[in-house]
Structure 1
Amino acid sequence: MADSYNKDELEAPGWLNKPFFEGVLKKCENTDVIVVNDIKMSPATAKGDHYASVMFRATLNYDSKTAKGLTKSLIIKTMPQVEGHKMDFLKESYIFETEIAMYSKTIPMFEAELRKIGDNTILGAKALYHSLTPQKCIIFEDIVPLGYQTLSTRTADMEQSKSALLKLAKWHAVSYKLAAEGDTSLTDYKHGIFSLKEFETSTFVQNGMKQFIAKCETIEELKQYVPKLQALEKDLLKRCHQSFESYFQPNAKGIFVLCHGDFHSKNMMFKKNSKGENEDVMLVDFQLCYFGPAILDIIYGLYTILTGDVRKNHLEEIIHYYSSNFIETLHKLNFKGSFPKISEFFIELLRHSHFEIFMMSTFLPVFYAFETEVIDPEELMTSEGAGKSLYNNERYIEDVKRMLPIMHNRGYLD
């Protein structure tokens, strides 16, 4: 089974030991007596489910002052200990500072705003412990025992997608209101995925559009789009970078919120009721949150959550559903400022169409590959050959054949 997990998650670091967990449990349970009897460590996720951290699941058997034989399951997220691309990718980043701030300050603040209007939505799993020294680490309550599960496939069905979008719309609306009312803490989040130097300069990102164009040149019905794609390729990454940082640019225009930043299916955990119906979705992984255009989260989700058929045939419905719930939440929050119109979200989609092209050309082939094979993320980020083969996926090619003419007709390629 070792090949199913990231190599750096097969053995936990030595500091994840009994004294460490006893300290964590004492803090969580507000007691001075905890004795850990046994620790069972395992990888928390499968290979390819995440890259910007190292994650373990710890099942603890322990005694407290009042009871013996207690058990608790924890999720530990920390930095890589092994030299390599992942360590280089993360060592200069702010991802742990971002996620700690999100769990300790921002998410509780958002939930408090929702409680004022009688909305009991839970926006994030419970964070039990965090530190930046001597190790960067965050420990969460394991929500699998509470009935939450990740999707076994890359894509979500329509019900699941709307459930995730509803929660995102509420999150976005609360942040929109607070920022408009002068809360400057939200604009401190400035480090989205395009702020990671190792991401933007990686072989995977740098070659994505080139490899996409090369594949289009071999497909008869897509050859006509190649000249326009070549013209776009020259500054595509620069424009994406500008989109992510557009709030901080002069004369910024748009609907700005605190974005999740990594809104994809593996960062969602779904819970069903006794009838098998979707009861809740929990968004996880807040390492890449940033203040920017709301539509970027939606575009990201369009290509990392939805099937190609849903994306083609229900895009307007999806955006209408999200934006109408965004606006409805603002009304419920008794927001006194200027309300965005649903039409403005569609204008935003066109304004940031270059990011949609990036997602289709660079991220989408990866997510198709995840459905049928186990991919080593580090090899993908660093090996030109590893990325090139992804463009031969037949389902991906069929999806591009559907989407590229639509993008052309919308004016995205101009």
Structure 2
Amino acid sequence: MPDNATDMEFNVDELEAPSWLNSQFIQKVLSDFEESPELMVTDLKITPASAQGDHYASVMFRTTVDYSTSKGRFSKPLIIKTMPEQEGHKKDMLSESHLFSTEIGMYTKVLPEFERILQKAGDNTKLYVPCLYHSLEPRQVLIFEDLVPQGYAVIRGRPVTEEELRFVYTKLAKLHAVSMKVMNEQPDFLKEFQYGLIEMPTLMQDPMVTTGMANFLNFLDKTPEFNKYKPYFEKLKDNCIDKMADVLTEYRKNFQPDGYYVLCHGDFHLRNMMFRHNKDTSAYEDVMLVDFQISNLSPITVDLIYSIYMLMEPEQRWDLGKNLINHYFSVLEETLKKVGYKAKMPTQAGLWEQMRRHKYYDFALMATFLPMILAIKQSTAKMHDIIQDNETRKKAYFSEFYLEDLKHLLPKYEEMGFFKDL
């Protein structure tokens, strides 16, 4: 639900709305939502809702709806989210996914219950934006209130500050803490949330993923200062994806008695959060997490490790996010106590042990996704090019930004013992 800006370059499949997205459809949605059968749409403006690089797993439009009821005339800004309809790579990759059924469950069942639990404990944190409409048939659609008129915006054109990230991790910790309580007390409540990245076979078999380690090894071979690390990653050439899958599916396939498990957001990066700052003072007021399409029951590390590579700025990433993750843990612990968590409490030392145990997820993200996300953030490649073209991906490894990251990350892996027992 990013903000709209005149200088944005939009996704091609969002330049023209599908024919079904018209006044009649929106009129029916609003009429049912407001329980006003006499509601009439008088004007409807539809524009793209997101910039290139913001997302890939849906098509999004922003609408401004003018309408009248017996109570008067009104205007409502909305975000419409649906599946790709244009033939091509994007539609093929997402066609058999559970993205929309997962997100509908999150917005209609899980997030309202999590907010209720927090409110009962005296915490009025808002976890989600209201969903006005949802459907899986005849087409997959979600409609939300637009957050932009409420002062929220995606951060663009500047680094996210550490203060902003601390607020982000505060909200994630509260989401995780309540999920731990629910998993302990109502184990069946979340059982349907079992579809993460690994359960998207068309994605995991896509060359974007499968060529990652080979491209990384090619980069190591051609970069003398990193040659010494090549033998470690040679051992992962044929099983890196399998090792990553072991981490992501541990709760479902290899439950560990000492594991820390939560309902993960699943795609915890900067474009999936919107910030609100005071217009006069620029002081932080709130952050809203969006896009819960891949939320699933996973090790607690899944969101945290993912965020190191997909959310943090380089300086925070170089010590594997130590300060921010320790802040996250302090909020997690505080919230667990506040909501009355009755099982054995996690420990900070235990959390870091699990971070080390799941090092293969670090390796997969660093070797496959980090060069792509850096290229997109630095505007040296467009998302659809880097996803679909291996030559574009190969070039991303040799950027100055990726080189600088690895100068810090690879020695840090060595210091933390990540290369032992590969």
User: Quick check: TM above 0.5?
Assistant: yes
Instruction: Give the aligned partner of residue 63 of structure 1.
Output: 68
1:198 to 193, 196, 202: 202
Counterpart-to-counterpart distance in 1, 2:320 and 2:204: 31
Structure 2 counterpart of 1:72, from 73, 76, 94:
76
Paired residue type of 1:390: A
Partner residue of 1:159 out of 157, 163, 170: 163
Aligned equivalents of 1:287, 1:384: Cα separation in 2: 26
The amino acid of 1:235's aligned partner reads: N
The answer to whether the 8 A contact 2:376-2:382 is kept is no
Q: Is the 8 A contact 2:56 2:90 kept in 1?
A: yes
The DSSP-based 3-state class of the residue aligned with 1:59 is: strand
Q: Is the 8 A contact 2:154 2:275 kept in 1?
A: yes
The 5 Å alignment of 1:85-100 reads 85-100=89-104
Partner of 1:50: 55
Match 1:14 to one of 9, 12, 19: 19
Determine if contact 2:359/2:418 at 8 Å carries over to the other structure: yes
Q: CA 1:154/1:229 → structure 2, altered by over 3 Å: closer, same or farther? A: farther
Deviation at 1:124, TM superposition (A): 0.9
1:176 paired with 2:180, answer: yes
Residue 324 of structure 1, aligned match among 312, 320, 330 = 330
Q: 2:9 aligns with which of 4, 7, 11?
A: 4
| Superimposed CA distance per residue, residues 339-395 of structure 1 (whole angstroms, 9 cap, x where no aligned partner) | 111111101101111101111111111121122227443333332112111112111
Matched, 1:342 2:317: no
Q: Which amino acid aligns with 1:331?
A: K
> In the alignment, residue 50 of structure 1 is paired with which amino acid?
H
Which residue number in structure 2 is paired with residue 308 of structure 1?
A: 314
Q: Using the alignment, how far apart are the partners of 1:154 and 1:292 within structure 2? A: 31
* C-alpha distance in 2 between matches for 1:55 and 1:352: 34
Q: Per-residue deviation at 1:154?
A: 7.4
Larger deviation, residues 40-49 vs 250-259:
250-259
State the match for 1:37 in structure 2.
Answer: 42
Deviation of 1:313 after TM superposition, in Å, equals 4.4
Counterpart of 1:295 (choices 286, 296, 301) is: 301
Contact 2:381–2:392 (Cα < 8 Å) also in 1: no
What SS does the corresponding residue of 1:232 show, helix, strand or coil? coil
The residue number in structure 1 matching 2:256 is 252
- The letter of the residue matching 1:18 is S
1:275 is the counterpart of 2:281: yes
Q: Is the 8 A contact 2:115 2:125 kept in 1?
A: yes
The answer to whether the 8 A contact 1:155-1:305 is kept is no
* C-alpha distance in 1 between matches for 2:108 and 2:377: 34
Mapped partners of 1:67, 1:170: distance in 2: 40
> 2:193 matched to which residue of 1?
189
Structure 2 partner of 1:23:
28
Amino acid at match of 1:89: M
Q: 1:360: which partner in 2?
A: 366
Separation (CA, whole Å) in 2 of partners of 1:201 and 1:210 = 14
Residue 242, structure 1, aligned to residue 242, structure 2: no
Pair 1:400 & 2:406 matched: yes
Shift of 1:233: 2.6
Aligned-residue offset at 1:85? 1.1
Please tell me whether residue 410 in structure 1 is matched to residue 416 in structure 2.
yes
Supply the AA of the counterpart residue of 1:91: S
Contact 1:202/1:381, CA 8 A, preserved across alignment: no
Long gaps (5+) in structure 2 = 1-5
Deviates more, 1:209-218 or 1:368-377: 368-377
Q: Matched residue of 2:28: which SS?
A: helix
> 1-side partners of 2:230 and 2:342: how far apart?
48
Q: For residues 50 and 24 of structure 2, what CA distance do their matches in structure 1 show?
A: 25
Alpha-carbon contact 1:37-1:63 (below 8 Å) kept: yes
Structure 1 residue 3 displacement after superposition: 8.2
CA–CA distance in structure 2, aligned partners of residues 2 and 154 of structure 1: 15
Q: Matched residue of 1:240: which SS?
A: helix
Task: Report the Cα distance in structure 1 between the residues aligned to 2:53 and 2:380, rounded to whole angstroms.
Answer: 7
In 1: Cα distance, 2:319 partner to 2:418 partner: 18
Q: How far, CA to CA, are the matches of 2:380 and 2:271 in structure 1?
A: 14
- CA 1:355–1:313 in 2, change beyond 3 Å: closer, same or farther? closer
Give the unaligned 5+ runs of structure 1: none
Q: Distance in 2 between matches of 1:400 and 1:64?
A: 59
Please name the residue that 2:113 is paired with.
109
Instruction: Give distance in 1, aligned partners of 2:407 and 2:414.
Output: 11
> Identity of aligned pairs, percent?
38
Take 2:87 and 2:384, find their aligned partners in 1: how far apart are those partners?
12
- Mean Cα deviation higher: 50-59 or 246-255: 246-255
Provide the TM-score with structure 2 as the length reference.
Answer: 0.95
Equivalent residue in structure 2 for 1:135, among 134, 139, 148: 139
> How many Å separate the matches in 2 of 1:408 and 1:247?
27
CA contact (8 A) 2:306 2:365 kept: yes
TM-aligned CA distance change 1:150 to 1:383, over 3 Å = same
User: Counterparts of 2:242 and 2:335 in 1: how far apart (Å)?
Assistant: 34
Deviations 1:243-286 (A, max 9, x none): 11111124424100000000000001000123111111000000
Determine the structure 1 residue equivalent to 2:87.
83
Give the paired residue count. Answer: 413
Amino acid at match of 2:378: T
Distance in 2, matches of 1:154 and 1:387, equals 24
Q: Give the match's secondary structure for 1:287.
A: coil
Q: Which residue of 2 aligns with 1:264?
A: 269
Displacement of 1:203:
1.0
